[in-house]
């Protein structure tokens, strides 16, 4: 665990306007909306803590930043150290990630979206990521509604990602790219030349495809992942957590 803490930093991306969860998000950050018996943001935080990461940057939007600061505090209650960055405009996941460059200090990073819930311990994968010198490691899950996500096409024999397509109308597979990414210290250089997409955002799929083109990108297919960013998906996550009496 000491090696992980010395060589990886965690980044929680808690920006965005939360429009898909209105009216719950009218007066608060969506990541403070409860899932089960605690706010949504507790789950990605626990994921990073279980990996063994102590230094964590939280990137959040300007509208409800105060609520996030007030809830999380300095990190002492969790045994970690928080750094905060403000995303003045919602220009996408990659734009939010770019704000954490100084915090990363050229170390490898575990980047997680604050509306993603993983009921899994990724410590072994983090150790492999550090040991094998991968440039990136992505986590995929087979889903029925793939067109909502970035979708990966893979070569199962070579254990290689061939390409990732953002929210395709006709997905080439059912493998959604989940909101946890392990990156080396070149991730910020990959963001800098990106142009805004048609959605007016810097897309994390473009970052991931930059890694895929370089070749040294690993992937794992996982279970027990939930995107809690919509009413329906949040309810599914909540039902699963209740069913298995998870806290």
Mean pLDDT of all residues belonging to the chain: 90
Phi-psi region of 133 (alpha: psi -120 to 50; beta: other; left: phi over 0): left
Q: Which residues pair with 108 in a beta bridge?
A: 8
**Collapsed DSSP state (helix, strand, coil) of residue 202:** coil
185-212 burial, b for 16+ CB within 10 Å, e for fewer?
eebbebbeebeeeeeebbbbbbbbbbbb
Domains of the chain by residue range? 2-243
pLDDT at 239: 83
pLDDT, tens digit (0-9, with 9 covering 90-100), for 101-122: 999 998 999 999 999 999 999 9
Of the listed ranges 16-25, 68-77, 92-101, the one predicted with least confidence:
16-25
Q: Which of 18, 109, 3, 99 is nearest to 56 (CA)?
A: 109
What is the Cα–Cα distance from 195 to 193, expressed in whole angstroms? 7
Task: Determine contact, residues 66/172, Cβ cutoff 8 Å.
Answer: no
Architecture (CATH level 2) of domain 2-243: Alpha-Beta Complex (3.90)
pLDDT at 153: 94
Q: pTM for the complete prediction?
A: 0.94
pLDDT at 177: 97
């Amino acid at each position: 665990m000491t090696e992980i803490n010395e060589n990886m930093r965690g980044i929680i991306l808690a920006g965005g306007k939360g429009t898909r969860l209105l009216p719950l998000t009218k007066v608060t950050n969506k990541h403070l909306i409860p899932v089960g018996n605690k706010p949504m943001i507790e789950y990605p935080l626990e994921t990073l803590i279980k990996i063994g990461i102590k230094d964590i940057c939280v990137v959040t939007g300007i509208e409800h930043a105060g609520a996030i600061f007030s809830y999380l505090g300095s990190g002492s209650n969790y045994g970690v150290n928080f750094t905060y960055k403000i995303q003045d405009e919602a220009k996408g996941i990659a734009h939010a990630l770019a704000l954490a460059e100084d915090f990363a200090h050229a170390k490898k990073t575990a980047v997680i979206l604050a509306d993603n819930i993983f009921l899994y311990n990724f410590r072994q994968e983090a150790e492999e990521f550090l040991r094998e010198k991968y440039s990136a490691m992505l986590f995929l899950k087979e889903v029925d509604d793939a067109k909502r996500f970035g979708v990966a096409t893979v070569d199962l024999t070579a254990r290689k990602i061939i390409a990732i397509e953002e929210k395709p109308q006709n997905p080439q597979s059912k493998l959604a790219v989940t909101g946890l990414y392990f990156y080396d210290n070149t991730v910020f250089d990959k963001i800098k030349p990106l142009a805004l997409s048609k959605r007016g955002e810097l897309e994390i799929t473009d970052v991931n495809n930059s890694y895929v083109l370089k070749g040294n990108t690993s992937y794992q297919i996982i279970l027990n992942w939930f995107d809690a960013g919509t009413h329906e998906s949040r309810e599914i996550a909540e039902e699963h957590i209740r069913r298995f009496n998870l806290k």
